[in-house]
Structure 1
Amino acid sequence: MRILNNIITAGLLCVSIFTYGQHNTMTTQTVKISGNCGMCKKTIEKAGNSADSKVDWNEDNQTANVSFDASKTSLDVVLKNIALAGYDNEKYLAPATTYAQLHGCCQYERTLSAPPANPENTPESKEESTGSSSVAKAGNFQVIYDQYFQLKDALVASDRKTVATGAAKLASLLTTLKSTDLTAAEQQAWKTQAIAITQYTKTLQEAENLAKQRVAFVSLSEEVYKLAKSSKPTLLVYQQKCPMFNDGKGATWLSLNKDIKNPYYGAQMLTCGSTIQTIQ
């Protein structure tokens, strides 16, 4: 009996030491996160909370206490997830289309601007020092990226009608781009990709079924990838690949989330695929 008690005591001691070690790695920082109401609070905290992080957002002063296990995650990861849920913060801004989909009472005044991670290495500073830049900011192309991700999500959900509607929106956005508003690098990128992106967008609208939409999305994804490589999106983007689509030849797509959600098979094989590249 004494031996059993000693074993139990030793086990509890190990658990206590392990728990203390876990708590000891937790870091808490206060950050600015925009929002309006209790519904915002629920969404912000759900987006930021995980096994390794906890977010407590205050509606009155528009700040949040973010606690995270620095050995497993980072403040950047937490704030990026919150931005992807539609909420601007001091490091990342929400995609325009995600913000637009928030409930009316949640559409806060967008007063924040996210600083670059390293101002000395931004494309603007390189352009000032060298007179040219091989990589442009997302700038005028961000609306294209945002709508592309909406199309991808609709294919994941196997929603043919929403795909067609989204493709029509993308086609409309393409007509609003003016070369005079683009940087030199953007103009070159758009000159190379414009015709193909417009063509595949039209195919997505006119496709008779989901299968044909998915085939067209393969080509659209390749063109948007080329655009993103020359004019990077404002948020981290993952290029992912399904090895089975297209008779085993494989097909790629772009995503804002590292978790695999396959647009080529939807629920049939939702997690089939892997991340092959990160665009940042």
Structure 2
Amino acid sequence: MYFKKLKQMKVLKNIIAICLLSSSLYSHAQNTAMTTQTVKISGNCGMCKKTIEKSGNSADSKVDWNEDNQTAKVSFNAEKTSLDAVLKNIALAGYDNEKYLAPTTTYAELHGCCQYDRTLSAPPANPENTPENKEESSGNSSVAKAGNFQPIYDQYFVLKDALIAADHKAVTAGATKLSNLLTTLKSTSLTTTEQQVWKAQANTLAQHSKALQNAKDLAKQRLAFVSLSEEVYKLAKSSKPALPVYQQKCPMFNGGKGATWLSLNKEVKNPYYGAQMLTCGSTIQTIQ
């Protein structure tokens, strides 16, 4: 009996030792997969640090932001994510970095003490001075190209979020701002390509924006948003936003005809149904 118990104890010890060894090997594998890079991220204060690190941290990444020198050490598991993905999330939280600029509306919503000086510029989409880039390099960089229509994209996303929240008043206010943006945009500030796009779409964009503004209830606003989304999609395909944009589709809306919209987040949040069917839909295209 004694020897039987002794044998069982030895087996148990061996099992524990194997488990500990496996855990150690797994931890070592995780550590060796981690890559650390130092990047520039704008910000002002301790509140900024908290937001930057929260938006960049995940199971596969860790961000340590330094307020003094405006840089961050970004560690990430290169097998599961990328520096690009981490910096995109930080930009979406309102903070410019060396890869992405924050959306204008998100920056504007930061606390007053967090509204840093916006001195960073996003890298050009195509750094090579190819013939098709000569027009941009002569005075309109790809960063400027994204910026010309960027306020329109930003206001569109405000509208989309208001529809998700089923906030009729916020949608009306957002549509009014969009209508004003469309009337004040100066075509002389656009590149030749953008001027062609604007000439073809300005009137229809204005019409759909006005329809959204005048819609009397949420149901009519959502129907008007379908047409507006189609026009903003055309604009985004011709003059891309500063950040990657996801075109998403709800197959059920509008009597089963389906409807698309644009989002800065890959996670589906349906503006046509809101909380009723928040995750109904899928990503069908990425514009970047």
Query: Could you tell me whether the CA contact under 8 Å between 2:145 and 2:190 is conserved in 1?
Result: no
- Residues of 2 paired with 1:123 and 1:141: CA distance? 23
Pairwise CA RMSD: 1.7
- Residues of 2 paired with 1:35 and 1:93: CA distance? 12
- Residues of 2 paired with 1:120 and 1:146: CA distance? 28
In the alignment, is residue 248 of structure 1 matched against residue 256 of structure 2? yes
Residue 185 (structure 1) aligns with: 193
Counterpart of 1:262 in structure 2: which amino acid?
Answer: N
Residue 172 (structure 2) aligns with: 164
TM-aligned CA distance change 1:257 to 1:128, over 3 Å? closer
Residue 153 (structure 2) aligns with: 145
2:20 counterpart (3, 12, 16): 12
- Residues of 2 paired with 1:58 and 1:91: CA distance? 18
In the alignment, is residue 174 of structure 1 matched against residue 182 of structure 2? yes
Query: Could you tell me whether the CA contact under 8 Å between 2:152 and 2:178 is conserved in 1?
Result: yes
Gaps of 5+ in 2: 1-7, 138-143
Task: Report % sequence identity.
Answer: 79
Q: TM-score by structure 1 length?
A: 0.93
Counterpart mapping for 1:229-268 below 5 A: 229-268=237-276
SS in 2 for 1:173: helix
In the alignment, is residue 116 of structure 1 matched against residue 120 of structure 2? no
SS in 1 for 2:145: coil
In the alignment, is residue 50 of structure 1 matched against residue 58 of structure 2? yes
- Residues of 1 paired with 2:145 and 2:102: CA distance? 16
Q: CA deviation at 1:229?
A: 0.8
- Residues of 2 paired with 1:59 and 1:112: CA distance? 16
Residue 107 (structure 2) aligns with: 99
Query: Could you tell me whether the CA contact under 8 Å between 1:79 and 1:89 is conserved in 2?
Result: yes
- Residues of 1 paired with 2:63 and 2:214: CA distance? 44
In the alignment, is residue 227 of structure 1 matched against residue 247 of structure 2? no
- Residues of 2 paired with 1:10 and 1:272: CA distance? 45
Q: CA deviation at 1:182?
A: 1.4
TM-aligned CA distance change 1:155 to 1:123, over 3 Å? farther
Q: CA deviation at 1:120?
A: 1.0
Residue 133 (structure 1) aligns with: none
Q: TM-score by structure 2 length?
A: 0.91
Q: Max radius of gyration: which structure?
A: 2
SS in 2 for 1:140: helix
Counterpart of 2:38 in structure 1: which amino acid?
Answer: T
Residue 36 (structure 1) aligns with: 44
Q: CA deviation at 1:123?
A: 8.6
- Residues of 2 paired with 1:148 and 1:122: CA distance? 32
Residue 283 (structure 2) aligns with: 275
TM-aligned CA distance change 1:268 to 1:128, over 3 Å? closer
TM-aligned CA distance change 1:36 to 1:118, over 3 Å? same
Residue 68 (structure 2) aligns with: 60
Gaps of 5+ in 1: 130-135
How many matched pairs? 274
Counterpart of 1:80 in structure 2: which amino acid?
Answer: K
- Residues of 1 paired with 2:74 and 2:132: CA distance? 31
Q: CA deviation at 1:97?
A: 1.3
TM-aligned CA distance change 1:124 to 1:105, over 3 Å? farther
- Residues of 2 paired with 1:122 and 1:90: CA distance? 23
TM-aligned CA distance change 1:268 to 1:234, over 3 Å? same
Residue 71 (structure 1) aligns with: 79
